[in-house]
Chain A
Amino acid sequence: MTNHWIDIANSDCILIMGSNAAENHPISFRWVTKAQLAGTPVIHVDPRFTRTSAKADIYAPIRSGTDIAFLGGMIKYIIDNNKYFKEYIANYTNGAFIVGDKFSFKDGLFSGYDAEKRKYDQSTWAFKMEANGMPAVDKTLEDPRCVFQLLKTHYARYDLDTVSSITGTPKDDLLKVYETYAATGVPDKAGTIMYAMGWTQHTVGVQNIRCMAIIQLLLGNMGAAGGGVNALRGESNVQGSTDHGLLFHILPGYLPTPAASLQTLAEYNKKYTPTSNDPLSANWWQNRPKYVASLLKSMYGDAATPENEFCYSWLPKVEDGKTYSWLDLFDSMYQKQFSGFLCWGQNPACSGANADKNRDAMANLDWMVVVNLFENETASFWKGPGVDPKQIKTEVFFLPCAAYMEKEGSITNSGRWGQWRYKAQEPPGEALPDGDIIIELFNEIRALYKEDKEATFPDPVLNLKWDYISNGKFDAHSVAKAINGYFTKDVTIQDKQYKKGDLVPSFALLQDDGSTSSGNWLYCQSYTADGNNMARREKDDPTGLGLYSKWSWCWPVNRRIIYNRASVDLKGNPWNPKKPVIQWVVEDGKGKWTGDVPDGGWPPLQNADGTANDKSKLPFIMKPAGVASIFGNGAKDGPFPEHYEPLECPVEKNPLSAQLTNPVAAVYGTARDIIKTCDPRFPFVGTTYRVTEHWQTGVLTRWLPWLLEAEPQLFVEMSEQLARMKGINNGDMAIVESPRGKLEAVAIVTKRLQPFTVLGQEVHLVGLPWHYGWTWPPDGGDSANLLTPAVGDPNTRIPETKAFMVNVSKKEV
């Protein structure tokens, strides 16, 4: 989230799309309801009428996988009806930038497409540069090659009729949503978007969110209270795990994973440290070398010196251009490219797309270690349905671990708040906290390396800084402090002295010379000389905006709403004086920011008399140009979002272009990767989701009787029309089948699903939750991911589990 949970209450219009917030983030509705009571309209756009729709003021149905068409139509509406915030676009976004001559868009393809490699040459999307090394701009937004005009042209095709024929959303509903949301384009209003996996899990996942980001920028909703782009994370600590480098392409703190071609730290820093010729750009990533050096110091301690480039050479490198995502790992496992698997706190036999492929893949392993609270379908894949244990060679080890209330540590919520949690009770039996399991495991690995005189490349293992144990146990405080970072020698910075071993008070003080360590620069300030800031529980709210700045701690530097310098005009006055996030206040001739922690303390862009202040910086400090990207030339599938159908879709044509599906989507080629579009055997759109009562694959919640009682079995929701057509009655057992797998599920026949009219044809959609598996309960059903395809977004490689094709029939008794 750019904002945070409580801030939803500040919104003037709440759009919930790609999310079923009332069911999957029930507490969010505390704040949604609060806003609603104050008169804020709540809009829900979703294929199904859910518990969220039931509370919304406006509900609009949408065929799953067509969000860009829907949102592209909103962009067109905003521009055509002059609802955009021109001053904001001209000054705080790249809307005024002139795009270079090489850029073009023709019939669904952007310039630079290489059909053989299924890849774009992104250099053709570069801006036109002036002699001074800065992008050419036209702040009137009238130059035909400026981003704003190209945007207007791009979405001119997304008229109401076309959008409605793709999405299946009635035109009246489209208009109602567009009008209501576009009303936040005035300076003193802000709309918010609450989205989740309904947007991300598509082959156009990143572009779904980009499309909304463009809308938020056109309306001036970024940086403001009640605005922003807000991802509702699917687990309580997804934000934290992402921040700490869970994904293959990043190290902690969003530092790119080094590739094999970058053999030295100097080369790495050169490649990944952006430069800007604009004196008004803070270009914050120019500090990257400090964060990398501090990370390496935290990993390798005294062994890391400036002379050896802080042991950069010890970091594992990825092959250039190769991806190592979840889909890639299971594809490799399926192809027997590796033989061992640590499966920690996850259940790929049920959670991964195309689950049968994953189950088959596990049989190719020599060994697998499963760490979990309960035996799950992954740990017992060798005795699952249709599997003969005698035929499975994989040796499975199961390590029981502690549940969240049985260990101490931090979690970081969607709003970036690091919150400390305490242990309530001891874990049962032999179960250990994850930290202790890791400590024991690594100690053993290190001992083996020590013993083995011929061990390959032992240095990174033998020299790893590993002092996170007190009283023989994993010490969460010691890890939290290492993440924050220490001074590694006595230093004086801006007349202030710091001693070796002092905790670094803020990432602004991190250095690239080895004098500081930090396991994650973004978390620098989370644990300081003042104590564990994540454990703070003060309830002061001086702004009245619900920032609660002394409750827990949030990254970066406790800034509760990021990009907040965009919430003020060029002179530092809030666009919305009733809800000022920050404000430039001059007292006795000296100016300062009040309110939230600003995105940098520089003065506003203009002085009170309207003259430019050359000490200022532009608001989007993480972007080299200092402004937000309406034209996003970093995405692998194009600088503007374009509607493409899901890889499995019910239509043969895309009325917007000749390009039916995302030309650079990630696809895999094993015998288990079967994709069928417009195959009469699979005529219905399928989608997956969660319910309030269960969590993920249900490994925890299926064992909680009160929750299981409320949602005991796999179900498939379908319209009355489809049920009639297939002779299925409410409560019957139905069979749902995709090109990849087959499931039995209880039919819920409901008015809450309605057929869509798509390109003049009736299209039905069915949906299933993915919470179930064979271990428990006895008639619970299996994973809905047996149906889903392992195809991915080209940027993130998240699988397209929200739109695929199935058939349904009644189970004959």
Chain B
Amino acid sequence: MAGKSFFIDTTRCTACRGCQIACKNWNQNGASMTKNTGSHQNPPDLDAQTYKLVRFSESVDKNGKLAWYFFADQCRHCIEPPCKDAIEAYVEGAVIHDEKTGAVVYTDKTREANFDEVKDSCPYNIPRLSEDGRIVKCTMCFDRVSAGLLPACVKVCPTGAMNFGDREEIMAMANKRLEVVKAKFPNAQLLDADEIRTIYLVVDDPKAYHDFAIASAASGIGRKLAMRRMTKPASRALRAMLPG
């Protein structure tokens, strides 16, 4: 499989949030006047101005040992993106699934899609609705990558937690790192590596990091997507027949 991929090594992430800020900087996304809600995770969730969010989770293992997990959440750029189907069920060409990189990029035409359906289609709870009606998320810094640059979040990472490159190299890097990490953390794993282009390495139950760290069963890539695929031509045909 060609194209690009991210490798996010959570064992190296210090939650400096350089990626979160660099993402806002490159995309010229604004900030909200947040409140501290008793957590350092802020804004509390992804939003239309926040495509990349470092999630903070405290976790205690069965021996009482405390861990503080950091999960730099972002779009996974699925190999077969269900959101594309969900959007294009309403509007053709609203999503660019770039052949060269594998980036899944939303266009302004996403205004015409049904946001709830798009959100439900995503196994990772990523898409957000902007005030102007567009559906938005991480673009894989499509513009930077097309110009031979690294995505902003990768460029700014000081520790090597964020990595980006050709799919094969990234997979090799991830598998190699997994082998090393397993010696100390037997539960270490790569999350959904075969289905997506943003590959996380975690050392514990993915749920300890984030509810949507792995594809959620409710909206997963499995049955629901298959159903949608089956009904897609019909629903589009139906929409075409409807007035306005």
Contacts and interface: CB of A to CB of B under 8 A. Distances in A.
Given A54-B68, A751-B58, A715 B36 contact: yes
B21 A710 contact: yes
A749 B38 contact: yes
Nearest to B20: A710
B100 interface: no
Interface stretch (A26-34, A150-158, A325-333): A26-34
Contact of A54 (B24, B67, B160): B67
Contacts of B66: 49, 751-752
Interface string B95-124: 000000000000000000000000000000
Contact of A748 (B35, B39, B70, B158): B39
A41 to B, nearest CB: 12
Contact of B68 (A53, A692, A715, A730): A53
A406 interface: no
Nearest to A730: B38
B60 A27 contact: no
A452 interface: no
Given A705-B30, A712-B42, A26 B18 contact: yes
B60 A751 contact: yes
B38 A731 contact: yes
B32 interface: yes
Interface in A14-55: 22-23, 26-27, 29-30, 33, 49, 51-55
A605 to B, nearest CB: 41
Contacts of A708: 31, 33-34
Nearest to A712: B34
B17 interface: yes
Contacts of B24: 706
Chain B interface size band reads 20 to 34
Interface of B is mostly: loop
Nearest to B42: A710
Contacts of A260: none
Given A709-B31, A709-B32, A710-B42, A26 B158 contact: yes
Contact of B31 (A23, A706, A715): A706
A713 interface: yes
A576 interface: no
Interface in B1-54: 12, 14-18, 20-21, 24-25, 30-40, 42-43
A693 interface: yes
Given A33-B159, A49-B66, A751-B60, A22 B16 contact: yes
A320 to B, nearest CB: 47
A779 interface: yes
Contacts of A33: 12, 159-160
Contact of A27 (B12, B35, B39, B158): B158
A706 B16 contact: no
Contact of A29 (B14, B21, B25, B33): B14
A666 interface: no
A478 B208 CA distance: 58
Given A26-B14, A710-B17, A779 B68 contact: no
Contact of B15 (A51, A705, A715, A751): A51
A750 B58 CA distance: 8
Nearest to A22: B14
Given A33-B160, A51-B68, A54-B67, A746 B36 contact: yes
Nearest to B177: A37
Interface residues on A, range: 35 or more
A715 B38 CA distance: 8
A29 B38 CA distance: 26
Interface string A686-706: 000001110000000000011
B176 to A, nearest CB: 12
Nearest to B22: A706
B110 to A, nearest CB: 24
Nearest to A36: B12
A747 interface: yes
A54 B70 CA distance: 9
B35 A779 contact: yes
Interface in A727-766: 729-732, 746-752
A732 B35 CA distance: 12
B14 A711 contact: no
A731 B16 contact: no
A707 interface: yes
A777 interface: yes
B16 A23 contact: yes
A659 B32 CA distance: 52
A779 B30 CA distance: 19
Contacts of B35: 712-713, 746, 779
Contacts of A712: 33-36, 42
Nearest to B9: A33
Contacts of A51: 14-16, 68, 70
B229 to A, nearest CB: 38
B32 to A, nearest CB: 6
Contacts of A53: 68
B68 A29 contact: no
Pick from A706, A711, A712, A748 the residue with the most CB of B within 10 Å. Answer: A706
Given A33-B159, A54-B67, A26 B16 contact: yes
B152 to A, nearest CB: 12
A43 B181 CA distance: 18
A710 B42 CA distance: 5
Nearest to A781: B36
Contacts of B16: 22-23, 26, 29, 51, 692
B68 A748 contact: no
Nearest to B23: A706
Given A706-B24, A710-B20, A713-B35, A29 B158 contact: yes
Interface in A461-496: none
Given A51-B16, A749-B38, 11 more contacts: A22-B14, A29-B14, A30-B159, A51-B68, A54-B68, A54-B70, A55-B14, A692-B15, A706-B25, A731-B38, A748-B40
26 contacts: A22-B14, A22-B15, A26-B158, A29-B14, A33-B12, A51-B15, A51-B70, A691-B40, A692-B15, A692-B17, A693-B17, A706-B20, A706-B24, A706-B25, A708-B31, A710-B34, A712-B35, A712-B36, A712-B42, A713-B35, A713-B36, A747-B38, A751-B58, A751-B60, A777-B33, A779-B35
List 6 A-B pairs, minimum CB-CB distance, nearest first.
A731-B38, A705-B31, A730-B38, A709-B31, A54-B68, A26-B16
